[in-house]
Each structure stands twice: as C-alpha cells, then as structure tokens.
Amino acid sequence: MFIVTSYTTAVVFCLITMLCWGSWGNTQKLAARTWRYELYYWDYVVGMVLTALVLGLTMGSMGSSGRALIDDLGQASWSNIWSVVLGGIIFNASNILLSASVSLAGMAVAFPLGVGLALVLGTVINYIGAPKGDPVILFAGVALVVVAIICNGVASSRVNREGSSKAGMGITLALVAGVLMSFFYRFVARAMDLDNFENPTAGMLTPYSAILIFSLGVMLSNLIFNTVLMRRPLTGDPVGYGDYFRGSLAAHLPGILGGAIWCVGTAFSYIAAGRAGAAVSYALGQGAPMIAAIWGVFIWHEFRGSRRTSGLLFAMFALYVAGLAMIVIAGGN
C-alpha cells in the first residue's frame, strides 16, 4: 500500500485534507437549488463508500509495504472494527447536524463555528490519546484558531438576514455538531498502528481498511439518523425514499461528488497520521473552516451587504493562517 514516509509529504496530505473538508459543502449549496439536504445527504454517503472502496483497491493494495486491503480486512480484530464503526456513527451524527446548519446559516458561519470547535476539542483529545509534536506550540496554534472562531461568531451576529431565527438555529446546530465531531477521529486512530504502517500489529487496521469500515459505519447509521430527519425535518415538509429515487442524475451527482471529496480528504488524513501524528494530522485538516469561509464570503457572498464585518473577517483569516502555521511547526518538533 502507499505509505507517507516524510513529514513534508504528510503536511501536504494534511493540506489536501483541509481543502477537501472545507470544500465539500459547496456541493450541498449547489444541490440545495433543487434538492433537499436530507436527500442530498444520502448521495453524500454513497459517494463516500464508493470512494473508500476505490482508494482501498488502488492506493491501499499497491506495492509491497504494509497489508493490502483484502488481507488487512481479513485479519482485523472485531474490537478495532467496532471502534472504527463507532467513529463513523459519531461522525455521521455530527455531520448531519453540520449539513443542517449549512442549510440554515450558510457555509461561512456553520463551518468556522462547528468544525472550528471540533478542531479545538479534537486536538486535545487526539493529543492525549497519541501525544506527538511540541505541545506548547501546538496548543498555542489552537488558541489562535479559538480567537478566529470568536471573530467569525461576532461577524455572523452583525449580519442582518431574513429568517434570523433560522440562522440562530443553524448556529446552535453547528456548535452541537462541533462537540460531537471532536470525538470521532480518536476512535479511528486508536484502531490503527500509527507507529508502523509498513508492518502493522496483527489485528490492527491500515488507513485504507479504516476509511472503508468507517464509511460503512456512516452508511449503516444513516439508515436511522437520516430516516428520522426525512420524516421529521428541521425545516420544510417531510420527504420519503420515493422522492429520492425520483431524483434525476443531475440532482444526485452533487451529493456523490461531495462524499467523494470528503472521503479523499479523510483518507489522506489517516495516511498522514502515521508520520505527523493523530493530533497534528487532525488539527491541520480541521483548518477546513478557513477554506469554507473563503467559499462562503467570496463565492457565495454570505456576508454581502454588511460593512461592519470586513475587519473581523480579515482577522479571522489571519488568525487561522497563523494558527495552522504553528500547528505545522509543532508537528516537526
């Protein structure tokens, strides 16, 4: 299987993760014109599972290092499999709430608040579970991200929109999603032998088998979580599976693409964790709110018409960049 051997390459993979995690929400924005987000989310999960399988059969089965996907799945212990499945369930609960938040409050608000909070809490959790890197520099970088999140929250409160009650609900959902999202990565990381992907411990998983099992855990839990939301949506009328299957190919494609983008980013994060460590890999990938905010501000114009937010948004971007740079430095020490 393909294995990252240098810290520089690991950082590049983490930056790709950041781009993917911060960009998949664009597909939801595109689909929202004709497609309810509950239906979109089924396409998202399908795209995730298909991409995980393709990655496992290609990158996860090439070369002579490590274990190929099929061999790795065959020898995995049930305790590690269930740990990854649990991570998928926790992620799915948080991501459905985040998707709902995007539909109510927009990308520039939902991602910095929800995923930014997940960055802070998740970095602490992953560092405790697998300490790697300079903790002083690492958490100083995280502190800068916290201030960036505060700037975004203040900026969003200054924007006057119609349906402010919906925006308020979206902010609440983003915060709940962030707390849940902070826990999923640790359950996956502890099932992998992060110290030795070339000759992993028997019973443990490689990144490629982990992302596939994780995606299947997301799909199974979606049968419960998303079915409930389809019948009792946060906004709008209930939808059913008949509505999903009546959708056109054009309606389904954005969600499948969104799931594929997210899955590539997550797989690259798991691959990079073997060299950079779980805390650094997770923290760098969760720089995604800055990417999402760029999309939301400059492409979707979610802060259009508010002159009082420009300084806060500039401060948010500057603090995010500084915080991420410190996280990179921390991992190299």
Provide the 10 A C-beta neighbour count for residue 236: 10
Q: What is the pTM of this model?
A: 0.84
Using 50, 70 and 90 to split pLDDT, how confident is the model at 194? confident
* Residue whose entry in the numeric block shows the structure tokens 């993917």: 20
* Residue whose entry in the numeric block shows the structure tokens 């995604």: 288
User: What are the tens digits of pLDDT across the range 198-227?
Assistant: 888 999 999 999 999 999 999 999 999 999
Residue 157 has a pLDDT of 63
The CB-based long-range contact list for 160-169 (8 Å cut-off, 24+ gap) reads 160/305, 160/306, 166/104, 166/105, 166/235, 167/104, 167/105, 167/106, 167/109, 169/104, 169/105, 169/234
DSSP state of 201: P
Please check whether residue 207 is in contact with residue 199, taking contact to mean a CB–CB distance below 8 angstroms.
Answer: no
DSSP state of 291: H
51 Cβ contact list (under 8 Å, min separation 6)? 215, 259, 260, 263, 264, 267
CA–CA distance, 60 with 1 (Å, rounded to integer): 4
CA–CA distance, 72 with 205 (Å, rounded to integer): 7
Percent of the chain with pLDDT over 90: 43
Residue 205: beta bridge partners?
Answer: 192
Tokens of 117: 């909070």
Tokens of 68: 């190929």
Query: Rounded mean pLDDT of 269-283?
Result: 86
Residue 259: beta bridge partners?
Answer: none
Using 50, 70 and 90 to split pLDDT, how confident is the model at 165? low
CA–CA distance, 103 with 110 (Å, rounded to integer): 9
Q: Which amino acid would we find at residue 197?
A: F
List the single range of 2-6, 60-64, 67-71 with lowest mean pLDDT. Answer: 60-64
CA–CA distance, 118 with 62 (Å, rounded to integer): 33
CA–CA distance, 53 with 215 (Å, rounded to integer): 9
Residue 101 has a pLDDT of 83
Q: Which amino acid would we find at residue 123?
A: T
Residue 147 has a pLDDT of 87
Residue 266 half-sphere exposure toward CB, CA atoms < 13 A: 27
Residue 185 half-sphere exposure toward CB, CA atoms < 13 A: 35
Query: Rounded mean pLDDT of 182-196?
Result: 90
* Three-state secondary structure call for residue 198: coil
Tokens of 57: 């059969």
CA–CA distance, 57 with 60 (Å, rounded to integer): 6
User: What are the tens digits of pLDDT across the range 101-126?
Assistant: 877 777 667 777 787 788 788 888 88
Q: How far is CA 274 from CA 9, 10, 52, 208, 263, in A?
A: 11, 8, 18, 12, 18
Tokens of 130: 């697998």
